[in-house]
Structure 1
Amino acid sequence: MATKIEIKTDKASSMDQTKFPFSQAISYNGMIYCSGNIGIAPGTTTTIEGTVTDRTVQALKNLTAILEAGGSKLENVVKVNVFITTMNDFAAMNEGYLQFFKHPLPARTCVAVKELPLGTDVEIECIAHL
């Protein structure tokens, strides 16, 4: 029977679990399920300054570190969910996104939401195989 394994790394942002009760990722049955990541640099607790493109890049750097800590890599991502606070940021988010993902691109959903944690404008989660 497969066992859930928590993936943790200090090479990606990590929030106080008493306020944000979730794992960075869980590995289960050959897959890695990454929690949503926002543009927070490792070792800090605030979002980076700059543009939505900059925060997209930082979120994807965090996801890359988490996947590598779990024995996978960004190229193994099969599904991505992106949350942005306005569809006006769609092109800017894609600018950062395409710095990390190449063809064949993972399946993806992008939705606009009213609000995201810590007042950020983009959050990204993904699923990858080992």
Structure 2
Amino acid sequence: MAQRTAVTTEDAPNTDNPYSQGILVDGFLFVSGFGPVDPETMADVDGDIEDQTDRVIANLSAVLAEGGGSLEDVVKVTVYLDDMDDYDAVNEAYANHFGDEPPARVCLEAARLPGDVSVEIDAIAKVE
């Protein structure tokens, strides 16, 4: 059986809900989905969808860093939007973080996201 290690950081939102911010197993870090929540205030960030996407990716980055990785190590993400009309704007913000060889990705519209946020992203990274 593979050894699993929970990854937790104060630099990303942490709730009392029954999930880990990340799980490290066999060199892969599975990062839970995050919305645009400021980890210091636990409030949704103000701003447009690009600002919200930037905060989401900052939350992912914090967990990745705690688990020994970075955005460059991400191999797969799933983007959840409450309105597919935001797709192009989210892509712009997303592209600013993932460079020339972005990870594989799925993007879908969800009827409703936790906390009624507009965007949520989860990630899988290969870390050593």
- TM-score band, normalised by shorter chain: over 0.9
Query: Equivalences for 1:3-42 in 2 at 5 Å?
Result: 3-15=3-15, 17=16, 20-42=17-39
Query: Normalising by structure 1, what TM-score?
Result: 0.94
Query: Equivalences for 1:69-84 in 2 at 5 Å?
Result: 69-84=66-81
Aligned residue type for 1:115: R
SS at match of 2:97: coil
Query: Equivalences for 1:30-69 in 2 at 5 Å?
Result: 30-69=27-66
Identity among equivalent positions (%) equals 37
**Alignment length, in residue pairs?**
127
Aligned-CA RMSD value:
0.9
| Shift of residue 98, structure 1, vs aligned partner | 1.1
For the 8 Å contact 1:46–1:118, the answer to whether it is kept is: no
Uncovered stretches (5+) of structure 1, i.e. residues with no partner:
none
Query: Which residue is 2:119 aligned to?
Result: 122
| Shift of residue 2, structure 1, vs aligned partner | 2.7
For the 8 Å contact 1:41–1:47, the answer to whether it is kept is: yes
Query: Equivalences for 1:96-107 in 2 at 5 Å?
Result: 96-107=93-104
| Shift of residue 14, structure 1, vs aligned partner | 1.3
Aligned residue type for 1:119: D
Quick one: distance in 2 between partners of 1:113 and 1:90? 13
Quick one: distance in 1 between partners of 2:97 and 2:2? 30
Deviations 1:17-74, CA, capped at 9 Å, x for gaps: 2xx2110000000000000011011122221111111111001001011001001111
Uncovered stretches (5+) of structure 2, i.e. residues with no partner:
none
Quick one: distance in 1 between partners of 2:12 and 2:42? 11
Query: Normalising by structure 2, what TM-score?
Result: 0.95
Quick one: distance in 2 between partners of 1:85 and 1:13? 20
